[in-house]
Every structure is written in C-alpha cells, then in structure tokens.
C-alpha cells in the first residue's frame, strides 16, 4: 500500500475515533498517535496524517456545510460515520489542500477507495456521487488538472466576468461574492449570440446576478479557460474574459436564483475575504496594476 494512501486511511480512522467519542478535539492527538502506532508503524508520511486531520478539524464547519448542501437528502448525522469522515478528508483535499500535490481526481479516487475498503457496499458509490457533485459545481479551481486532449472536439462556451469596483474618497473597493460552497468569486455570466459586445452581456448578467444596473465597463484584465462538465450538457470548453466594471452604487442584491450567499466590498489593496478560487489571482493583480 502506497504511503499516501495508508496515511489517508489512518487520518480517516483517527477522525472516526474522534467522531465516535463526541468530536472531542482534546482527544484527537491521542487518536492520531493510536492509529499510527497500531496500523502504520514506521510510516514515512506521519506528518501528512497529522496535516489532514488538523486541516479537517480547522475547516470542519465549512466542510460539514458543504456535505449538507451536496447531499441534501442525507442529514449529516444520518450519514454512516465512516462515510462522513471519508467525505471530510476528501473534501478537505479537494477544496483546501495543495492541488499541485494532489490533483482533484486523485483526491476523489482516493476517497472512493477508502470508502470501498472501510465502508459498506454502497459507500463507494455514495462518496463518488457527493464528491462528483462538488467537483462539477466548483470546476474553476480545478481547471489546471482537467486536461483536454488535443483531438477532443468539445463545444465552446464564452463567458464574461467582472472585477466590479466602487470608488470613494478614501479607497477603491472590489466586490467579492461568496458561493454556496463557501468560496469567494467575481461575478460572471454567459455571452450569447444576441449580444452585440461584452459590455452588453455584462450589463445583462450583472443585473441578473447581483441587481446592479449603474455600471461602466472598462478594459479587459485577462482570460480564464477550463473544461467544464455538467450532468445535463456534458463536457465543454469555457473561456471567461474578465473586465473592470465601475459602479457608483454599493447596494448589491443577489437574485433568488443565484448561488450567491454573501457579498462583500473589500479594499482593492486587500486579499479576498476568505477562501477563493486562486485562478482569480492574475485577474486581481492586473486590476490593481491598471487602477494604480
């Protein structure tokens, strides 16, 4: 058994013991030491076990909320304890871990294998379904690991996005939106054949998503490209072109149909207010460069 796979199994078992004992954080170190001593003596990846366990505990609130939203028909307390903690480890690696070290599909496949080894007959299928839902919903941060074959002929989707800014006497602020999975994003929407240009599409999409109409569309600040996969449309190649968009209003009203759960104006000099999709780093830096 590969060291990393064994380390993940030990992390899951330590979290299982912690969960079984009432989620008492004071006992987690003892649980980790016990499973390593009993089931992984001489393990070279001991630090990886502790990193996973501590990471899950640090992000437990966010992770459990994501599980509830990705599997709404299964209340968290009704999910089998093994499955629940396999999901916690998998979601931590999928969303909060080092994606360069552990690509998303590796995190998902590893979790499925843990579920098959430690869970029930349907555990693997359940884990695959939940993590697959999350993977599709937050495809953007995973784009660098979703490779399109050179000869793969996929339909193309064009989108427009916005670094929405608001000037005041003391500062320039940029608008961040928090999606239902707890990540901060910039607004975006589809470009259609009926749109005369990107400005037309942005005015429509920003009104639809966050309720603002008083905007001035400025210059483009970069593109993001990735392969998207949905249950209804299958795979497609997406390209989002982001623009600086200025508004004089600070009142944001997300539509009822949007996936936005919170909005926040943040100084252009400051980072995102929490976890965000890191493919936006280049967009934010270019926006800062232009506005400076």
Closest CA to 158 of 205, 214, 212, 215: 205
**Are residues 187 and 237 part of one domain?**
yes
Q: What are phi and psi of 237, to 5 degrees?
A: -95, 120
**Are residues 281 and 167 part of one domain?**
yes
pLDDT along the chain (292 residues), means of 10: 81 94 90 92 86 94 91 90 96 87 86 92 92 76 45 79 88 90 87 88 92 93 81 77 93 84 92 82 91 85
**Are residues 286 and 224 part of one domain?**
yes
Look up the CATH number of the domain holding residue 45. Answer: 1.10.940.10
Residue 276 lies in domain: 156-291
Closest CA to 253 of 201, 220, 216, 214: 214
Instruction: Please indicate, yes or no, if residue 142 is contained in any of the structural domains.
Output: no
Look up the CATH number of the domain holding residue 267. Answer: 3.90.79.10
Instruction: Please indicate, yes or no, if residue 221 is contained in any of the structural domains.
Output: yes
Instruction: Please indicate, yes or no, if residue 147 is contained in any of the structural domains.
Output: no
Count of structural domains within the chain: 2
Where is the domain boundary, 105, 137, 169?
A: 137
**Are residues 177 and 116 part of one domain?**
no
**Are residues 160 and 133 part of one domain?**
no
Give the whole-angstrom CA distance, residue 58 versus residue 150: 40
Question: Structure tokens of 279?
Answer: 């493919």
**Are residues 62 and 124 part of one domain?**
yes
Q: Positive or negative CA dihedral for 71, 76, 81, 84?
A: positive
Q: Who contacts 112 (Cβ-Cβ below 8 Å, separation ≥6)?
A: 124, 127, 128, 131
Query: What are the residue ranges of helices labelled H in 3-59?
Result: 3-20, 28-39, 46-58
Instruction: Please indicate, yes or no, if residue 178 is contained in any of the structural domains.
Output: yes
Is the pTM of the predicted complex or chain greater than 0.85?
no
Give the whole-angstrom CA distance, residue 245 versus residue 210: 13
**Are residues 210 and 118 part of one domain?**
no
Instruction: Please indicate, yes or no, if residue 143 is contained in any of the structural domains.
Output: no
Question: Structure tokens of 33?
Answer: 């030491």
Instruction: Please indicate, yes or no, if residue 14 is contained in any of the structural domains.
Output: yes
Instruction: Please indicate, yes or no, if residue 149 is contained in any of the structural domains.
Output: no
Q: What is the pLDDT of residue 215?
A: 93
Beta-bridge mates of residue 30: none
């Amino acid at each position: 058994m590969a060291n990393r796979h064994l380390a993940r199994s030990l992390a899951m078992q330590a979290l299982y013991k912690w969960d079984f004992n009432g989620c008492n954080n004071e006992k987690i170190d003892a649980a980790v030491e016990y499973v390593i001593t009993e089931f992984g003596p001489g393990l070279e990846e001991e630090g990886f076990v502790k990193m996973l366990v501590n990471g899950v505990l640090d992000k437990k609130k966010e992770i459990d909320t994501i599980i509830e939203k990705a599997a709404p028909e299964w209340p968290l307390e009704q999910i089998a304890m093994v499955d629940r903690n396999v999901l916690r480890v998998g979601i931590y690696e999928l969303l909060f871990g080092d994606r360069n070290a552990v690509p998303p599909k590796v995190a998902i496949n590893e979790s499925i294998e843990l579920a098959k080894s430690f869970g029930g007959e349907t555990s693997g299928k359940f884990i695959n379904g939940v993590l697959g839902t999350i993977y599709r919903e937050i495809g953007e941060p995973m784009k660098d690991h979703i490779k399109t074959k050179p000869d793969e002929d996929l339909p193309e989707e064009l989108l427009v996005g916005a670094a929405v800014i608001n000037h005041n006497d003391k500062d320039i602020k940029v608008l961040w939106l928090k999606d239902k999975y707890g990540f901060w994003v910039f607004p975006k929407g589809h470009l259609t054949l009926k749109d005369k240009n990107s400005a037309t599409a942005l005015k429509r999409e920003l009104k639809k998503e966050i309720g603002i109409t008083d905007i001035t569309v400025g210059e483009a600040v970069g593109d993001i490209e990735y392969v998207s996969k949905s249950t209804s449309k299958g795979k497609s190649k997406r390209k989002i072109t982001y623009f600086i968009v200025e508004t004089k209003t600070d009142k944001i009203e997300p539509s009822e149909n949007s996936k936005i759960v919170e909005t926040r104006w943040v100084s252009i000099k400051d980072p995102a207010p929490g976890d965000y999709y890191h493919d936006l780093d280049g967009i934010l830096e270019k926006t800062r460069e232009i506005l400076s």
